[in-house]
């Protein structure tokens, strides 16, 4: 059965959804996006995703497609029309269609597209077993804090992981881990401290990251926001990553070396449970 998707004011079957070949999202990757998870029919961390959307739009001087109440109503309408109880809602805003020109066109009207992806998020075989990752140089641009759709470098890196028989990739720059292909990276040191890279233009400011760090601090866990190397990660007690699509995902192997016991660790498992419960309590 085909999905109903939202395109520029209309709800249409996915086969009927159309965007101009002059759309700057297509020609320049001049577009930003958000991915919000849905669990038990609730939107998780929705306000955080809206805040980051406005920040991305502002950094690119891109017009707001509509107000937040309308965006929320579209999310909910898509959940209803597609009977989505668990999965993801993808939202993309582009600068719109205009004759090809590197300069931002003054007259372009933003394009707005949303669609649902049904996915089992809570019960995940990967979260049960843990995932294996490789490291690779981070060849992305210098404004990774803006959530743009230029994801080819990440797709290439993730394909390398797949070819190596692994699940994902952590990227490194100047000797330190930046983040995962589509997630934020963490280790747990031998003395139990949770370490994740501090916020800057080098990484996306994950909405799940903010929520998970809040949960960790509330549970009296020690948190340090600083860069770490792959060598430190390989010698850590645990490793894991976070995102809207994976929540908290244990990493059990890095570049062929088992991390800790080689199985999902207690800190990652506990944080996954606390995060899901907290997100459900505050979700709506």
By annotation, the residues acting in catalysis are 147
Q: Which is nearer to ligand PDD, 104 or 199 (CB)?
A: 199
CB of residue 165 to ligand PDD, shortest distance in Å = 22
Helix 207-218 with 46-59: angle, nearest 10 deg: 130
Q: Which residues, 6+ apart, have CB-to-CB distance to 58 below 8 Å?
A: none
CA–CA dist 263, 245 (Å, integer) = 21
Q: Are 240 and 206 in contact (CB under 8 A)?
A: no
Nearer of residues 82 and 98 to ligand PDD, judged by Cβ: 82
Q: Are 4 and 13 in contact (CB under 8 A)?
A: yes
- Among residues 184, 195, 239, 275, the one that binds ligand PDD under rule CB under 6 A: 184
Instruction: Give the three-class secondary structure for 165.
Output: coil
Taking CB under 6 A as the criterion, the residue among 183, 252, 268, 271 binding ligand PDD is 183
Query: Of 107, 18, 110, nearest to 60 (Cα)?
Result: 110
Site string for ligand PDD, 228-257 (x = CB under 6 A): --------------xxxx------------
Select from 108, 133, 113 the least CA-distant residue to 34. 113
Comparing CB distances to ligand PDD, the nearer of 97 and 140 is: 140
Q: Contact at 8 Å (CB) between 24 and 268?
A: no
Mask for 107-146, x = binds ligand PDD (CB under 6 A): ----------------------------------------
Lay out the site mask for ligand PDD across 19-58 (x = CB under 6 A, - = otherwise): ----------------x-----------------------
Cβ proximity to ligand PDD: between 149 and 237 the closer is 149
Tell me the window of 8-16, 69-77, 203-211, 226-234 that interacts with ligand PDD (CB under 6 A): 203-211
Q: 283: closest CA among 254, 230, 244, 249?
A: 244
E strands present in the chain: 4-7, 10-13, 31-39, 42-43, 87-94, 111-118, 131-137, 168-173, 176-180, 184-188, 194-196, 223-225, 238-243, 247-254, 257-258
**For ligand PDD, the closer CB: 95 or 209:** 209
Q: How far is the CB of 90 from ligand PDD (least distance, A)?
A: 8
Considering only 23, 167, 179, 253, the residue that binds ligand PDD (CB under 6 A) is 179
CB nearer ligand PDD, residue 108 or residue 158: 158
> Using the rule CB under 6 A, which residue among 206, 227, 250, 264 binds ligand PDD?
206
Footprint of ligand PDD on this chain (CB under 6 A)?
35, 179, 182-184, 204, 206-209, 242-245
């Amino acid at each position: 059965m085909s999905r109903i998707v939202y395109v520029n004011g209309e709800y249409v079957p996915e086969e009927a959804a159309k965007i101009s070949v002059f759309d700057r999202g297509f020609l320049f990757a001049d577009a930003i996006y958000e991915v919000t998870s849905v669990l038990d029919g609730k939107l998780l961390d929705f306000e955080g995703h809206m805040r980051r959307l406005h920040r991305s739009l502002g950094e690119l001087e891109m017009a707001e497609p509509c107000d937040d109440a309308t965006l929320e109503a579209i999310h909910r309408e898509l959940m209803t029309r597609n009977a989505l109880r668990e999965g993801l809602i993808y939202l993309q805003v582009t600068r719109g269609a205009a004759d090809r020109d590197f300069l931002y066109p003054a007259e372009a009207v933003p394009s707005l597209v949303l669609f649902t992806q049904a996915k089992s998020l809570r019960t995940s075989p990967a979260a049960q077993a843990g995932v294996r990752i490789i490291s690779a140089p981070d060849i992305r641009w210098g404004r990774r804090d803006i959530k743009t759709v230029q994801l080819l470098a990440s797709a290439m890196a993730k394909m390398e992981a797949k070819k190596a028989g692994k699940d994902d990739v952590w990227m490194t720059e100047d000797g330190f881990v930046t983040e995962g292909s589509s997630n934020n990276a963490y280790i747990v040191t031998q003395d139990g401290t949770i370490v994740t890279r501090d916020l800057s233009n080098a990484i996306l400011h994950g909405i799940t990251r903010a929520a998970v760090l809040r949960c960790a601090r509330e549970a009296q866990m020690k948190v340090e926001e600083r860069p770490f190397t792959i060598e430190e990660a390989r010698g850590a007690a645990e490793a894991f990553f976070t995102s809207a699509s994976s929540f908290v995902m244990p990493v059990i192997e890095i570049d062929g070396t088992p991390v800790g016991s080689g199985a999902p660790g207690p800190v990652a498992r506990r944080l996954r449970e606390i995060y899901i419960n907290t997100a459900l309590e505050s979700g709506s």
